[in-house]
Amino acid sequence: MRKLIVSNLNDAKSILDKNLNLIIPTETVYGLAGNIFEDEAIENIFKLKNRPATNPLIVHIKSLESLSDVAVDIPDKAYELANKFWPGPLTLVLKKKQTISDLITAGKSTVAVRVPSHSTTQSLLTMLDYPLAAPSANPYGLVSPTSSAHAYRYFGDKVDVLEGGKCDYGIESTIIGFEGENPIIHRYGSLSLEQIQNKVGDLDIDNMANSDPIAPGMVSKHYSPTTPLILAEDIHSEIEKNRGKKLGLLMSKTIYNDRAKSTIIVINNKSNQTLAAQNLYADLNHMDSLNLDLIIAEKWEDSGLGKSINDRLSRASINN
The domain spanning residue 296 has which CATH number? 3.40.50.11030
Residue that terminates a domain, selected from 171, 205, 239: 205
Whether 215 is in a domain gets the answer no
Give me the CATH number covering residue 177.
3.90.870.10
**What is the spatial order of strands in the sheet that 229-232 belongs to?**
229-232, 294-298, 247-251, 264-269
Q: How many domains does the chain have?
A: 2
Supply the pLDDT for residue 4.
Answer: 83
User: Which has the closest alpha carbon to 51: 61, 60, 42?
Assistant: 42
Is residue 117 located within the same domain as residue 17? Answer: yes
Residues 115 and 239 in one domain: no
Distance separating the N- and C-terminal Cα atoms of the chain = 45
According to the model, what pLDDT value does residue 267 have? 74
Domain identity same for 119 and 254: no
Which of 205, 238, 254 lies at the terminal end of a domain, its last residue? 205
Strand, coil or helix: 184: strand
pTM of the model as a whole: 0.95
Q: Which positions ≥6 away from 166 have C-beta within 8 Å? A: 146, 147, 282
Q: Residue 123: CB partners within 8 Å, gap ≥ 6? A: 9
Same domain, 89 and 152: yes
Do 183 and 60 reside in the same domain of the chain?
yes
Do 190 and 239 have their domain in common? no
68/139 same-domain check: yes
Sign of CA dihedral 173, 174, 180, 181: negative
Structural domain span for residue 284:
229-316
Shared domain for 253 and 174, answered yes or no, is no
**Residue 53 and residue 42 in contact, taking contact as beta carbons nearer than 8 Å:** no
Burial of 3 (0-12, 13-18, 19+ CB in 10 A): exposed
- Could you read off the pLDDT tens digit of each residue along the chain, which spans 320 residues? 456 888 999 999 999 999 999 999 999 999 999 999 999 999 999 999 999 999 999 999 999 999 999 999 999 999 999 999 999 999 999 999 999 999 999 999 999 999 999 999 999 999 999 999 999 999 999 999 999 999 999 998 899 999 999 999 999 999 999 999 999 999 999 999 999 999 999 999 999 987 889 999 999 888 899 999 999 999 889 988 998 899 999 988 877 776 556 667 777 666 789 999 999 999 999 999 999 999 999 999 999 999 999 999 999 998 76
Return the pLDDT at 268: 64
